[in-house]
Amino acid sequence: MRQLIIFCCFLCIAIPSEAQHIGFYFERERNHVTLPIEVYNNLIVVSALVNEKYPLNFILDTGVRPSIFFNKKFVDTLGMDYQRSVQLFGVGNDDPIEALVAKPVSISLPGIKSTEISALVLYQDILQLERYLGIRIHGIIGYDLFSRFVVKINYAKKKIKLYEPTAFRPRKKDFPIPIEIIDGKPITSIFIQLSAADSIHAKLLVDTGASHALVLHQNSSSGFELPDKCIETNLGRGLAGEINGCLGRIDGINFGKSRLTGVITSFPRKPIATMEGRSLRNGSIGGELLKKFTVIFDFIHARMYVKPNAAFKHPFEYNMSGLEFTAEGIRLNRFVINEIRINSAASKAGFKPGDVMVSLNNIPSKKLDLTKIYTNLNLKEGKKITMTVYRDGKYISRSFRLKREI
């Protein structure tokens, strides 16, 4: 599993303001509602009814402003009109991506509805999230929801709670962190200890729509060096293409009153986006770090709250097998090795891209999903993994032991 999957953060959108407002409201007189979520590769997935027709799956993402649909061909069936074309700029490529502004759109969650709004529609599903998450994903909901409600995300219990802002009261253990809402995105200042002799105060996007723990951009702050032990690798995928760079550990980061150590950090090779020659931020915090807390976003009062959960003490780990899979087929239950890190444990065992998993530690692949696969492949250094794959008409079974490379 790639440590960094940035599907839509660092997204700059040239779109008139009328497409940036959304009218979410409680369906009946109430001041809060609790909704179930699923978490796939540290990303929050909610189910919503669109235009009173189809229940669709959306990433809940603090890193984007307008709602986004990934595939025009599917959106055509929802009875929307397209108003005009816009350009999107994302990490991975300098070339803009064409999208359409669609309306009318209504999005309904259990207990919550919206007035008719505008949304962005991509011509094609460029991101192909379903292949990396193992579940159909149709779009993203972002600022439009977070700007209307106080949003409490409980990663451990897989639920979110939306509050009317006037009705929300933090609890004593909810530690407040100031944030700035810049272009609809929450930015906070965090102290980062890169090494024993190197530290910075970094302005970071708090991004629920990215799977990494921490991203730092070297060009955004002078004077800090890469970790001594750093792996050159494909970090993941952004809206505009692949993201390459270096992956290493930093000494620690202060988040609220908590300190996390040995944080896996991504250092993209491509410089951070700038505006008028100024760096907008030093990087971002993503789901791998956020899932160690219950997180509350209060955009209205420019703060967030965090409280550590049971996952807080779990160490940060990076793919100790070297394997990356994609979910294929109509039911997304065929798992194919997409990439293998050079000199990794799985590479030395003889596995190859294109191999189709048959079983993992004697568990048939039909009883697995991508989350279970990666959990097994990241449990503990030294753990023995036996995997059977299908290649060129033959079944091949090999074993290796998980190895920590950073």
* C-alpha–C-alpha distance, residues 42 and 270, integer Å: 23
Instruction: Give residue 7's pLDDT.
Output: 45
What's the whole-number mean pLDDT along residues 112-127?
A: 86
Task: Supply 78's token pair.
Answer: 């929802």
Strands 159-163 and 150-154: antiparallel
- Taking the CB of residue 369, how many other CB atoms lie within 10 A of it? 17
* pLDDT surpassing 70 at residue 93: no
Gap between the Cα atoms of 162 and 394, Å rounded: 52
Mean pLDDT of 51-67: 90
C-alpha 184/C-alpha 13 separation (Å) is: 11
Asked if residue 4 has pLDDT above 70, the reply is no
Is residue 265 within 8 A of residue 229, CB to CB? The reply is no
Q: Which amino acid is at 132?
A: Y
The helix/strand/coil state of 381 is coil
Residues in CB range of 171: below 8 A, 6 or more apart: 307
Written as six digits, the tokens of 325 are: 């899979």
Confidence at 237, pLDDT banded by 50, 70, 90: confident
Residue 51 has pLDDT above 50, yes or no: yes
Instruction: Look up the pTM and report it.
Output: 0.91
pLDDT reported for residue 254 = 96
pLDDT digits (tens, 9 = 90+) for 7-30: 443 344 444 444 344 489 998 888
Residues in the chain: 406
- DSSP strands (E only) in 5-143: 12-14, 24-26, 32-36, 38-40, 43-50, 54-60, 68-69, 81-89, 97-105, 107-108, 112-114, 117-122, 139-141
Dihedral class, residue 368 (left if φ above 0, else alpha if ψ from -120 to 50, else beta) = beta
Are 14 and 98 a contacting pair, CB within 8 Å?
no
What pLDDT is stored for residue 3 in this prediction? 47
Residue 152 pairs in a beta bridge with 161, 296
Measured CA to CA, the distance from residue 80 to residue 102 in angstroms comes to 6
Nearest CA to 151 out of 213, 205, 109, 203 is that of 109
What pLDDT was estimated at residue 25? Answer: 92
156 has a pLDDT exceeding 80: yes
Return the structure tokens found at 112: 């919550």
pLDDT value of residue 105: 86
Per residue in 308-332, pLDDT tens?
A: 999 999 999 988 999 999 999 999 9
Domains detected in the chain: 12-167 (2.40.70.10), 175-313 (2.40.70.10), 323-401 (2.30.42.10)
The residues pairing with 298 across neighbouring beta strands, listed in sequence order, are 303
Pick 354 or 237 by higher pLDDT.
354
Identify the pLDDT of residue 21.
41
